[in-house]
Structure 1
């Protein structure tokens, strides 16, 4: 099968590049820049961005096999600067660093900018810039600061972009990627979700053999799709374990088992472990420590259950945005936060991990779920983190805070559903802050917790914009929470996008 090789230099968006190629039905493989690879059937190479500077000694360099490449190459951000340096140009820090939305203008016609307007906005993220272009290269576009935004070698084999075409904030980004794939590389449309499903079922059967397997089922989209996928592959040899750790949403400990036993017919065992988790979390305030404690306790519970049922493998619903934020995708990737099922796993464990969704993004997981026949109300639930409400309570977790947050979050979600806004939002939830705020109840002074509401729109979770919920709906949510949730005295709305913030607060 013809393919594009994506070389990873540690960018948060490396897998997003591969994901965009999949959207265009082009098969791709992501490899670390230190890895070797066969160039057979390769029709193009993309060098990703990354957090390093090419001007620093020891910075990641081109792969050892790069000199053998005869097909078109595109360098993005760090990839552009690396190519410029290696072809004799110069990269250095300039007075005008560029971050976020930036307007660029194209200077000449080229196949990579076909059907793209002369001026358009792109997403930049660089402190270094190209200050001298290599010989035999042309500048195709530049920013308002006269910084090169795109270059091309005169033989039309090397193409470079200072901006990120793979993020949705870049206008015409998909047009640019499509131009590179089909106008320049002559790639084939050969990758589909149906093919992924077929290959993954075969892979799971080969990996598991005749062994029993357990799966940590949270009831969220990712673990639900993983459960049905693995059930399709190995049937009743999959035992799903639902852990009631006390950090679930209101009434979820009853609702989830009913749905998955009755609607989907899965094997499901419930483990009541609330006291175990809350005791371990007592007095802990640091977010990373919380995540690691929760991840460790999950594994210990699963190990005990695996021993009980004779299981050898543990299936997890890890998806690629989890992997990227936990910095598990490459040696140079900057760590954002540990996910309990990635960076939060203990070093020593007695189970072999299977992550069938590891290289899919959230919307791709939902497409896979549709192929598997999972009900709409399960697939389109808002994402819920594995550590649950443990990372939506800022500071120490107590039963009092959990009860306040559960009720406030339930009111927020219920009101959004009543007003027809729930399905217009990618993710919505409440956060309980560690600080209290003065208020007035009747004629008396009150001193209660602050509830922050968070609602964002996204596609794959790598970037997100805050949702513009109408003020009258926010007003009603605030009044309902303050009037009926004892201990909640103030409600605020988070209007920060990702980046610079993450979606979750911790």
Structure 2
């Protein structure tokens, strides 16, 4: 399978470009802008897309392109900064005119060519640049312009090189996906054959080749990533896999039962459940500091998992089939953001459940080339329950970091009840697909005065944090209908004891984070 390489020039949208290519049923990978022509040739790509970036092409030290890459005969599309790099490398002219374009911009098509075929002559696109391509390279046809930018798109069908100044990968560009598909299908001649079924078949084959007849262990959290990873491995090696589910007492209502009943029924996976609630609550007693809570939860998870692993290893050794492999639900954004040969690390990637690096197992990571939406599609294809496949992201420390203050059994029960009401009402209103997630937060160290039952009450506030996002890198608060918010508030204050106030968090990310702690 030949990939489309997305060359990252430091763009905030590099991952989004890769995702949009995959939405066109074409496989893509992200690579660093310092990749050489020889390295590109070794990857044997079907096409190359040059991303945007924050630099100016004529500044000293700005990211540049290996000119030999354009001599390989591989179809190339430049976007924003990548468009300007193409223009400069091929002999065009890029200037800083003092005129900038940001946001929605009207685009006028001069000639549709291949790239802009079957598109309206006037359309809105999303711009974000301070430099302009003033002259296209010799032999290139100018396809579009704006009031500010004389050369907003160009192409050479002979060289199979194309470029646009705007960002077709963002939803605000009305014809953006069509631009990408025109490049992929018409410009590069790629067949749209990459899909979840192909991924499953490919990964099953790889897992069998990697694992052989050895035994495999997986830390199952009940979340989407570990659930799909475990199901893929089970599809490949069957009962060679044992999944370990640690119930630390910080789960939401019904999640343990969902894993033990629905997930096992759907997959047939051999599951070992460890009941560790008392151990975690004892360790968390008297602790309110968020970072300390996280460290305690991570430490106790490691200890609990290691104990379960030792018991399974002893069992495995008894039948002369040692456990050699550990399954992780690592996703492609984890690989990209932690370095992964693509960029300098944005953040370190913590393996599932915070497992220590010195565990003596070889990793099996069947999802490491996939984005979250692709993982969900594969989970559905594997027959996993809808409730697990569409489950909202949930932090590893669970409800422990959704209680602002000390974590106690009583506070956990209170928060579980409120959270269950929110999830039930969101589902009933058809909002599950509209939001990324909705953390429900208990302000345990705060009391507010209220009136309940004709008397004064002094209860805890509950915070609703509904957010919309594509990748959790940025997020905006979700504009839920007022009548839905009213039902949620009424139910929580009527049905959950010791809560007399429900508030709505309307902070975007940035400046806020999705979780409160």
Under TM normalisation by the shorter chain, which class is it?
0.7 to 0.9
1:370 to 2:380 alignment: yes
Q: Which has the higher strand share?
A: 1
1:174 is matched with which residue?
177
- Go from structure 1 to structure 2 and tell me whether the alpha carbon gap of 1:39 and 1:68 turns closer, same or farther (over 3 Å shift): farther
1:108 is matched with which residue?
110
Shift of 1:245: 2.3
- Go from structure 1 to structure 2 and tell me whether the alpha carbon gap of 1:376 and 1:19 turns closer, same or farther (over 3 Å shift): same
Q: Distance in 2 between matches of 1:482 and 1:198?
A: 50
**Count of matched residue positions in the alignment of Structure 1 and Structure 2:** 498
- Contact 1:10-1:330 within 8 A present in 2 as well: no
Between 157-166 and 175-184, report the one with greater CA deviation: 157-166
- Go from structure 1 to structure 2 and tell me whether the alpha carbon gap of 1:208 and 1:473 turns closer, same or farther (over 3 Å shift): same
1:75 to 2:78 alignment: yes
1:416 is matched with which residue?
426
1:456 is matched with which residue?
468
Shift of 1:412: 0.5
Q: State the SS of the aligned residue for 2:107.
A: strand
1:231-380 counterparts in 2 under 5 A? 231-274=234-277, 277=280, 279=283, 282-286=287-291, 298-310=301-313, 311-324=323-336, 326-329=337-340, 332=343, 335=346, 340-341=350-351, 348-380=358-390
Q: Which has the larger radius of gyration?
A: 2
1:189 is matched with which residue?
192
1:184-222 C-alpha deviation (Å, 9 max, x unpaired): 112223323222111101111122222221112122222
- Contact 1:240-1:269 within 8 A present in 2 as well: yes
Q: Distance in 2 between matches of 1:306 and 1:245?
A: 16
Unmatched runs of 5 consecutive residues or more in structure 2: 314-322
- Contact 2:493-2:501 within 8 A present in 1 as well: yes
1:311-344 C-alpha deviation (Å, 9 max, x unpaired): 33221223334555x4445553673x66643796
1:230 is matched with which residue?
233
Q: Distance in 1 between matches of 2:133 and 2:300?
A: 52
- Contact 2:403-2:441 within 8 A present in 1 as well: yes
- Contact 1:405-1:430 within 8 A present in 2 as well: yes
Shift of 1:239: 0.8
- Go from structure 1 to structure 2 and tell me whether the alpha carbon gap of 1:37 and 1:331 turns closer, same or farther (over 3 Å shift): closer
- Contact 1:432-1:449 within 8 A present in 2 as well: yes
Q: Distance in 1 between matches of 2:493 and 2:225?
A: 33
- Contact 1:151-1:160 within 8 A present in 2 as well: yes
Shift of 1:161: 2.8
1:18 to 2:29 alignment: no
Residue in structure 2 matching 1:383, options 390, 393, 396: 393
Q: Distance in 1 between matches of 2:264 and 2:82?
A: 49
- Contact 1:84-1:91 within 8 A present in 2 as well: no
Q: Distance in 2 between matches of 1:67 and 1:90?
A: 18
Q: State the SS of the aligned residue for 1:492.
A: strand
RMSD: 3.8
- Contact 2:134-2:151 within 8 A present in 1 as well: no
Q: Distance in 2 between matches of 1:7 and 1:46?
A: 6
Shift of 1:76: 2.1
Shift of 1:297: 5.2
- Contact 2:152-2:166 within 8 A present in 1 as well: yes
Shift of 1:448: 2.9
Q: State the SS of the aligned residue for 1:114.
A: coil
TM-score relative to the length of structure 2: 0.81
1:492 to 2:503 alignment: yes
Q: Distance in 2 between matches of 1:296 and 1:67?
A: 51
Shift of 1:475: 0.2
- Contact 2:73-2:159 within 8 A present in 1 as well: no
- Contact 1:303-1:351 within 8 A present in 2 as well: no
1:483 is matched with which residue?
494
Q: Distance in 1 between matches of 2:478 and 2:308?
A: 41
- Go from structure 1 to structure 2 and tell me whether the alpha carbon gap of 1:343 and 1:246 turns closer, same or farther (over 3 Å shift): closer
Q: Distance in 2 between matches of 1:469 and 1:95?
A: 38
Q: State the SS of the aligned residue for 1:243.
A: strand
Q: State the SS of the aligned residue for 1:17.
A: helix
1:274-325 C-alpha deviation (Å, 9 max, x unpaired): 4555637934335xx866765565455444433332233221223334555x
TM-score relative to the length of structure 1: 0.83
Shift of 1:47: 1.5
Shift of 1:481: 1.5
1:430 is matched with which residue?
440
- Contact 2:289-2:405 within 8 A present in 1 as well: yes
- Contact 1:217-1:223 within 8 A present in 2 as well: yes
- Contact 2:136-2:151 within 8 A present in 1 as well: no
